[in-house]
DNA sequence: GCCGTTTTCGGCCCGACTGTTTTCAGTCG
């Protein structure tokens, strides 16, 4: 059991207890503990073995013994007993947006609904409107929610590239309203999460109600979820929820801080505020005694007030950033300007669109010192992978181009397939002739954990290999990461001084933030590459930078922040 | 169930909106 699974088990327990109507603070204790566990740097199983499981915030004696029980048996008695009392479909009912534990309980007790299907039937038969505090509108809302939930197979998460585009369009449209002075993007989009659940926008306006009316009446809105005096929420096509908060200039900093989140980060900040005698909300600091509100027009004022260094949005996850800020140990996060070149680029020799010259020109325009042309190897037949003979010609062409220009250095490389048995697609004699060797898995993604881990480990142990590309193979919304032992992969990379890639393609973002942070902490070097197949893809680098920043990655952790001379020294390129 | 630089008991992050009822519970972010 890893930390995520244990945290999930506590979260499920909290939901079950809420349904049962237990003391809400007891259920919150489970939620708090789950959040705290998710933020741990070290696996609980490791902490337990070394006997240092004390001092996890929110985990006291009772929950600690439950963690031990989970680690030893895979579950805990209280959970098993509770789940047996409750019909299995109940959890699913609580997952319907707009329906919480209280309503679920009422539907169960008064209507006997134990599944989404039964609830849906009850709504269609108008039995829900007869319940206390229920009515016609609730009935309709429930039916709509159920339909939407069943249509939404991706669990409501949208890749950042998709949601980001829509957000910018909506921002621009809102900005055209005469009632709105300025619109900014907040929420997980501002924190640059790889996928987002919704779009959060903040508008500055002196006429909030008119601003909200403009918002909910925009052309593409499919459904109005909420429309109040300072807040509106709508659904866009694709079941994409968009929230707008309207605020006056004086509280703008407080509002954007609040709605940038994360929720966990904010809860932590509010606790610090309380310890100083203030409560913190989206309008400012409120003195607990006098009740006087101090609004913040700039976000930085909030962190100043709390005695914290300003925290970049990307790391506001309550994953240690507040402690790091208090102890002066905040990382200086990498920036796009630190990148000196791209080490994963495809030309029209394999499945890329552009010639090597065109790619080199585009890289020069972006101010790069170098690029590596890393076309596919022959196993990737569908991508017109290069035979050994074509690869040798490829190297020659690149040599010739390098002789013609001083503006950029083109490195000869490959994205060499790691075959199903862990062998590489080219012989060592060939690999030796290249400046840089990237390896990657493109087939046999369904192998079991041991097999695929061994396969990648074997590749990382090859002396000619430099970088492992898109290390987990995931594609957002399309396929999950392959089942790999990440800790093992990182430690092998470390031992063999190999580099792990953060692939910047917005559909990959692989390594992800969590794994990038893990690799960095273990001292493994990273590369932030675009996997460019057409020159526009070079611009995807910003997505990779976002992931790296979320992973607390600094410039020194990334190989392609090196200048050409340093890079050649690190990769052992002599000429 | 957790937690404490006034506390080992009595608190526990904070506010908007909806739908219902007429003062608020439930849900959400």
Sign of CA dihedral A61, A62, A67, A73: positive
Q: Nearest CA to the C1' of B12 belongs to which residue?
A: A25
pLDDT higher than threshold 60 for residue A154: no
**How far does the CA of A246 sit from the C1' of B8, in Å?**
45
Q: What is the CATH class of A3-151? A: mainly alpha
Q: Where do we find the tokens 């008064």?
A: A110
Residue A37 in contact with residue A71, Cβ under 8 Å? no
* pLDDT, position A146: 87
Tokens at residue A498, please?
């190999």
Q: What angle do CA A139, A31, A64 make, to 5 degrees?
A: 150
A58, closest nucleotide (Cα–C1'): B2
CATH of the structural domain A336-571, one choice from 3.40.50.10800, 3.30.565.10, 1.10.10.10, 3.20.20.140: 3.20.20.140
A245, closest nucleotide (Cα–C1'): B16
Chain B positions under 7 Å from a protein CB? 1-3, 11-21, 25-29
Mean pLDDT of A43-72: 89
**How far does the CA of A60 sit from the C1' of B8, in Å?**
14
What are A230-240's pLDDT values in tens digits?
999 999 988 88
State whether CATH 3.30.210.10 applies to domain A269-326: yes
**How far does the CA of A133 sit from the C1' of B25, in Å?**
9
Q: Nearest CA to the C1' of B14 belongs to which residue?
A: A281
**How far does the CA of A11 sit from the C1' of B1, in Å?**
14
- For residue A45, the tally of other CB atoms under 10 A from its CB is 14
Residue of higher predicted confidence among A255 and A156:
A255
Among A375, A427, A358, smallest CA distance to A531 is for: A375
To the nearest 10°, report the CA torsion of A170, A172, A177, A183.
80
Among A462, A453, A449, A454, smallest CA distance to A497 is for: A462
* pLDDT, position A95: 85
**How far does the CA of A192 sit from the C1' of B18, in Å?**
31
Residue A443 in contact with residue A379, Cβ under 8 Å? yes
- For residue A447, the tally of other CB atoms under 10 A from its CB is 17
Q: How far apart are CA A555 and CA A559, in angstroms?
A: 8
A259, closest nucleotide (Cα–C1'): B29
CATH superfamily assigned to domain A158-247 = Beta Polymerase, domain 2 (3.30.460.10)
Residue A554 DSSP label: B
Tokens at residue A209, please?
């109600």
- Strands (E) in A388-495, as ranges, are 409-417, 436-440, 467-468
Residue A340 DSSP label: -
Mean pLDDT, chain A, integer: 91
A227, closest nucleotide (Cα–C1'): B17
Q: What angle do CA A152, A153, A158 make, to 5 degrees?
A: 75
Residue A498 in contact with residue A460, Cβ under 8 Å? yes
Is the peptide bond prior to A523 cis by the omega test (within 30 degrees of 0)? no
Q: How far apart are CA A353 and CA A548, in angstroms?
A: 27
A140, closest nucleotide (Cα–C1'): B19
Q: Could you state, in order of their start, the residue ranges of all structural domains in chain A?
A: 3-151, 158-247, 269-326, 336-571
Lowest mean pLDDT among A98-102, A367-371, A531-535: A98-102
**How far does the CA of A289 sit from the C1' of B25, in Å?**
28
pLDDT higher than threshold 80 for residue A468: yes
What are A296-311's pLDDT values in tens digits?
999 999 999 999 999 9
**How far does the CA of A331 sit from the C1' of B7, in Å?**
37
Q: Nearest CA to the C1' of B4 belongs to which residue?
A: A275
A95, closest nucleotide (Cα–C1'): B27
**How far does the CA of A140 sit from the C1' of B26, in Å?**
17
Residue A573 in contact with residue A411, Cβ under 8 Å? yes
A63, closest nucleotide (Cα–C1'): B1
């Amino acid at each position: 059991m890893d930390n995520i699974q244990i945290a999930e088990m506590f979260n499920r327990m909290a939901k079950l207890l809420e349904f049962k109507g237990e003391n809400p603070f007891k259920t919150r204790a489970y939620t708090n503990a789950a959040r705290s566990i998710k933020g741990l740097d070290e696996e609980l199983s490791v902490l337990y073995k070394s006997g240092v499981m004390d001092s996890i915030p929110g985990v006291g004696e009772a929950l600690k013994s439950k963690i031990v029980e989970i680690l030893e048996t895979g579950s805990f008695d209280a959970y098993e007993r509770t789940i047996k009392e409750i019909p299995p479909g109940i959890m699913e009912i609580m997952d319907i947006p707009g329906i919480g534990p209280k309503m679920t309980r009422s539907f169960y007790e008064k209507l006997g609904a134990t599944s989404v299907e039964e609830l849906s039937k009850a709504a269609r038969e108008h039995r829900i409107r007869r319940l206390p505090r229920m009515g016609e509108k609730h009935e309709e809302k429930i039916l709509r929610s159920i339909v939407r939930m069943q249509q939404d197979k991706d669990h409501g998460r949208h890749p950042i590239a998709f949601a980001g585009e829509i957000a910018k369009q909506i921002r621009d449209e809102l900005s055209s309203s005469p009632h709105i002075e300025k619109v900014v993007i907040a929420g997980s989009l501002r924190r640059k999460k790889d996928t987002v659940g919704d779009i959060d926008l903040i508008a500055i306006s002196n006429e909030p109600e008119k601003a909200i009316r403009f918002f909910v009446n925009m052309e593409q809105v499919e459904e109005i979820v909420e429309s109040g005096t300072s807040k509106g929420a709508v659904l866009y096509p694709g079941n994409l929820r968009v929230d707008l908060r309207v605020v006056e200039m004086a509280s703008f900093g407080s509002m954007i801080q609040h709605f940038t989140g994360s929720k966990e980060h904010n809860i932590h900040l509010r606790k610090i505020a309380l310890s100083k005698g203030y409560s913190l909300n989206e309008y400012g600091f409120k003195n607990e005694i006098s009740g006087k509100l101090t609004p913040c027009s700039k976000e930085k004022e909030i962190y100043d007030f709390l005695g914290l260094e300003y925290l970049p949005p990307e790391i506001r996850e309550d994953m240690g950033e507040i402690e790091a800020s208090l102890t002066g140990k905040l990382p200086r996060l990498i920036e796009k300007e630190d990148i000196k070149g791209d080490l994963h680029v495809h030309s029209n020799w394999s499945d890329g669109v552009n010639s090597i010259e065109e790619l080199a020109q585009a890289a020069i325009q972006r101010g790069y010192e170098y690029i590596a042309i890393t076309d596919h190897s022959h196993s990737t037949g569908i991508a017109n992978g290069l035979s050994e003979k074509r690869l040798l010609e490829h190297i020659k062409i690149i040599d010739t181009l390098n002789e013609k220009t001083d503006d950029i250095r083109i490195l000869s490389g490959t994205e060499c397939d790691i075959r199903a048995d862990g062998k590489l697609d080219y012989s060592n004699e060939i690999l030796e002739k290249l400046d840089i060797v990237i390896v990657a898995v493109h087939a046999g993604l369904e192998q079991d954990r041991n097999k695929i881990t061994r396969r990648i480990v074997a590749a990382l142990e090859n002396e000619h290999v430099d970088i492992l590309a898109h290390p987990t193979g995931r594609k957002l919304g399309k396929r999950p990461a392959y089942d790999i032992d990440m800790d093992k992969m990182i430690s092998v990379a470390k031992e063999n001084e190999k580099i792990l890639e953060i692939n910047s393609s917005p559909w990959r973002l692989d390594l992800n933030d969590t794994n990038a942070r893990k690799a960095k902490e273990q001292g493994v070097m990273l590369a932030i590459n675009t996997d460019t197949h057409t020159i526009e893809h070079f611009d995807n680098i910003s997505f990779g930078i976002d992931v790296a920043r979320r992973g607390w990655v600094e410039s020194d952790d990334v190989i392609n922040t090196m200048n050409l001379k340093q890079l050649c020294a690190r990769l052992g390129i002599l000429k």
